[in-house]
């Protein structure tokens, strides 16, 4: 195992991350208590949840998916992460999260519910990109739709 691969494995272990269905790795770090529930079209949800989300050179893509809730992404470490968003009117937007704000990278990214989203870690020295997400109303897998990976 290379030194870079060992560092990524150590990071996954230190943060207690598990594979995510969309790609990459995650761990829920916060969920508002049961007294802070909101009613959504999908049922009762926690007011807010938060996760760590890691993309790596071995799992570099967060495949297209749609969430019902608003999500604010917070960049932490590693290589930049490119987001591709598809809005309901068909508008396509690409945004790069990273530490180089002078080059147009952003430290925070808000993605409204109902927007298709994919992410990909950009090749760099670290071999990974780490963010956090705050989701409101709180995330529930029932509110997430994965894109069809087949081309018709």
* Residue 150, pLDDT score: 55
Contact between 78 and 46 under an 8 Å Cβ cutoff? The reply is no
CATH class of 3-107+114-145: mainly beta
Nearest to 53 by CA among 100, 95, 91, 11: 11
Q: How far is CA 87 from the centre of its chain?
A: 17
pLDDT in tens, 40-91: 888 888 889 999 999 999 999 999 999 999 999 999 999 999 999 999 999 9
Other CB atoms closer than 10 Å to residue 54's CB: what's the count?
Answer: 25
Residues 6+ apart with CB under 8 A from 83: 73, 94, 95, 96, 97, 109, 111, 117, 118, 119
Q: How confident is the model at residue 144, as a pLDDT?
A: 82
Cα–Cα distance list, 93 to 18, 105, 118, 135, 148 (Å): 29, 14, 11, 21, 20
Is pLDDT at 152 greater than 70 in this prediction?
Answer: no
Which tens digits make up the pLDDT trace of 85-134?
999 999 999 999 999 999 999 999 999 999 999 999 999 999 999 999 99
pTM across the whole model:
0.92
pLDDT for residue 57: 96
pLDDT for 35 equals 80
Rg (CA), the chain: 16
């Amino acid at each position: 195992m290379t030194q870079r691969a060992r560092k990524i494995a150590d990071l996954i272990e230190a943060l207690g991350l598990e594979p995510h269905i969309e790609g990459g790795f995650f761990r829920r770090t916060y969920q508002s208590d049961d007294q802070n529930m909101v009613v959504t079209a999908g049922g009762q949800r926690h007011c807010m949840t938060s996760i760590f989300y890691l993309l790596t050179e071995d799992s570099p893509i967060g495949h297209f998916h749609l969430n019902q809730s608003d999500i604010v992404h917070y960049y932490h470490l590693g290589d930049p992460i490119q987001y591709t968003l598809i809005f309901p009117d068909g508008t396509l937007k690409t945004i790069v999260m990273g530490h180089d704000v002078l080059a147009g990278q952003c430290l925070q990214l808000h993605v409204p519910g109902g927007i298709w989203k994919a992410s990909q870690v950009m090749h760099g020295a670290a071999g990974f990109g780490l963010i956090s997400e705050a989701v409101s109303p709180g995330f529930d897998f029932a509110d997430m739709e994965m894109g069809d990976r087949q081309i018709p």
